[in-house]
Chain A
Amino acid sequence: MDLSYSEEQLLLKDSVSRFVARSYEFNRRRDNLHSSLGYSAENWALFAELGWLMIPFDEEDGGLGGSAVDLMILMEEFGKGLVVEPFLATTVLAGGLVAALGSDRQKGDYLSPVIDGAMQLAACYIEPDSRYCLSRVTTKAVRDGGGYVISGKKCVVLNGGHAENYLVVARTSGDSNDQSGISCFIVPNGVSGLSVDNYRMNDGVPAADLVFTDVRVPESSVLGAIGDGFKALESVVARATFAACAESVGIMDELLNKTVEYTKTRKQFGVPISSFQALQHRMVDMFIACEQSRSMLLMAACELDQGSESSLKAVSATKARVGQAARLVGQEAVQIHGGIGITDELDISHYFKRLTSIENLFGSVDYHVGRYMSA
């Protein structure tokens, strides 16, 4: 057993952390986020150049081997900088689906350009009444002539506005909640019958709701075997969930450090507020929450990299524990900052909002405790 990083992993951590220090000055991040794209195309090109977009994929797909530990390192550092580039959406989620289900030709058409940084994707699998349940799919794809006709609604599609292609999960047979009968299609943005409602999430990150009205796609757009997409969806979403937990841990670390620093400089009653024991203990609780979360993350990374049966359960346990920690750390960071903590101007509230988004993305604490119990 060895729970330390390898030399390459330390180099990766260092390189991402240097990128964040160099390119993620808070006002610059804000400008990028407020641009119509919602992130920096220049940063994205840099990610490709540095090989970060290869990290989650197998070597035969043109990737770097796809270890969970590498993904964790990347996402944690991204969390520290509140990185807004759509790595989770395009690379982990949508790219993950192509990698898991695509034919060689499809990988050539859709995965290689993702790895090169030349294409943006988005995965559409959440529906208005699906909550967190992945098998709840009511969007239908009906066979028609040489292809399929897709109808239904998808919501909170991350990166949904600027993706060139969508990975759309639709039902080709079975009842609304069946795990079988779920298929995956590649649908180009701009196809007739598709309407896209773009918006920002509460953390400022772009997302979209999509309505498919009799959208026609050819046979070649089917990804993997018809009716057999659920397992792949489940494992790709689990990996994204794990990645989001790593992002949360990075955010929490940053909130803890910033809060401790702030209390050392903020004076009230003639002394730094860090001298109040009432606040010291609360910051220690934040620290404990961070460390316990990190432990869960390492546990899940090991399970994922071993490819063990129980890796889904491990991810649910992690998401549940990190979710609890995230709420505590986010709220306390704001509270201990006082009034300044709730301003848009200071970064604290932005970290807090991102943590809150992640709490609901990919399933709440309750949902994952439930999955843990039934797994």
Chain B
Amino acid sequence: MNAELSSDDLDFQDEVRRFLGSELPDDIRGRVESGGRLSKEQHVRWQKVVYERGWAGVNWPRQYGGTGWTPVQKHIFEKECARAYAPEFISFGLKMVGPVIYTFGTDEQKQRFLPSILSSDTWWCQGYSEPNAGSDLVALTTTAVRRGDHYVVNGAKTWTTYAHRADWMFCLVRTGAADVKSQEAITFLLIDMTSPGITVSPIITLDGAHEVNEVFLNDVKVPVDNRIGEENKGWSYAKFLLNHERTNIAKVAISRQRLSQLKSLLLVTPDGLGGFLSDDPAFSRKLAELEIELKALEFTELRTLSALSTGESPGPQSSILKVCGTEVAQRIDELFVEAAGMAGLPYRPDHYLGNAEVDQAGCVESYVNRTPWYFNNRKASIYGGSNEIQKNIIAKTVLGI
């Protein structure tokens, strides 16, 4: 047993570092570093740079334009991206619907959808949740009724991230009889967001950002060709998607980078006594405790990776990645706000939502986006299956209770 990288892996790491060093645009790096929100244009521009290098399909098999990387290489790539303040890729296309399409889609669907997901020319959103189907997703009531070569879809989706920026939505709909309240009546459809009958209405979150939406579907015609797999089998594709992304779910790399960013920030954060917060033993202790927790998480993730690289299926430890990952990330958010002190109070939408450059040299400026980020990231323990639901699943499937 050893935790060292092979010389090939080290070469790969150098290659990734060189790439990020020369290709990551300054404005994009600056936004990520300051904790401000990126525009769609910035996301697209960055993904295109990575795409040109052939690296956008981090988790995809080679035959579909993916990297075919080993789990360790993926891990290195993610780590280096975080270290360089590269933005995360938006996951709906690359990490969610892409794998569903190349696993369950027809050849025609693969040709039609996969290339533009990699190149970021089409953006996707995820139409699962509904007003009365959140944690209990199976309770969804949006219906699709077959009429010849198309379905007619009616219903309402909610919390749909980036629906206002997306070209397509992958959507769970109910196709069986209305009284069948089971997983067996759910179908997985790909819906063109420009279809007549779709209305997107914004939901503003507590940090002032427009990220999520309600999506109303009123007699929306969806060609049967846009169905993934079989009718009424949608739940199994949806579950595949939920289970697919085993690596990086804990966002260890990003948490590690943010923690080290906070550490450097403490060196210039006044403690009010003429010194700096880095000298404060109480604060340093909290930071150390969190670093230890993060270390544990990192090795839990590495155990999962190691199993995957040797072709085994990941053990029960992988189930805790989401819960622990979001807890650590949210704890880092808290420490940023604590460290900010009074500098965490002003809300500067021009910095956070807009494009005002943040002067990282100034201490007060470095904290300007941290409180809205803390607010926004409370979502991390709610979406993608809340942490309570994750624990229910672990209790049932891992502990057998």
A residues near B, CB below 8 A? Answer: 126, 128-133, 136, 155-156, 176-177, 199-202, 204, 207, 209, 267-270, 273, 276, 278-279, 327, 331, 334-335, 338-339, 341-345, 349-350, 352-353, 356-357, 359-361, 364, 366, 369-370
Contacts and interface: CB of A to CB of B under 8 A. Distances in A.
Interface string B254-283: 000000000000000011111000001011
Nearest to A366: B282
Contact of A342 (B206, B283, B338, B387): B206
B264 to A, nearest CB: 18
Given A339-B134, A360-B341, 16 more contacts: A130-B272, A131-B342, A132-B341, A136-B273, A156-B345, A177-B274, A202-B371, A202-B372, A278-B391, A279-B388, A335-B387, A343-B206, A356-B374, A360-B337, A361-B345, A370-B282
Interchain residue pairs A-B with the least CB separation, the first 6: A131-B272, A133-B272, A349-B206, A129-B270, A268-B136, A344-B204
Contacts of A130: 270, 272
A195 B48 CA distance: 45
Contacts of B129: 339
Nearest to B370: A202
A129 B272 CA distance: 6
A344 B272 contact: no
Among B280, B334, B371, the one with the most A-chain Cβ atoms within 10 Å of its Cβ is: B371
B386 A177 contact: no
B127 interface: no
B200 interface: no
Interface string B301-343: 0000000000000000000000000000000001001101111
Contacts of B208: 344
Given A130-B272, A132-B341, A353-B206, A335 B378 contact: yes
A338 B231 CA distance: 31
B381 interface: yes
Nearest to B210: A344
Nearest to A346: B206
A291 to B, nearest CB: 23
Contacts of A334: 378
B203 interface: yes
13 contacts: A126-B342, A130-B272, A133-B271, A136-B273, A202-B346, A209-B346, A278-B392, A335-B381, A339-B379, A341-B382, A342-B378, A342-B382, A359-B337
Contacts of A202: 344-347, 371-372, 375
Interface string B25-52: 0000000000000000000000000000
B204 A131 contact: no
Main secondary structure on chain A at its contact with chain B? Answer: mixed
Given A156-B346, A268-B135, A344 B205 contact: yes
Contacts of B126: none
B158 interface: yes
A122 B271 CA distance: 24
B206 A201 contact: no
A126 B136 CA distance: 48
A353 to B, nearest CB: 6
A338 B204 contact: no
B348 interface: yes
A342 B348 contact: no
B287 interface: no
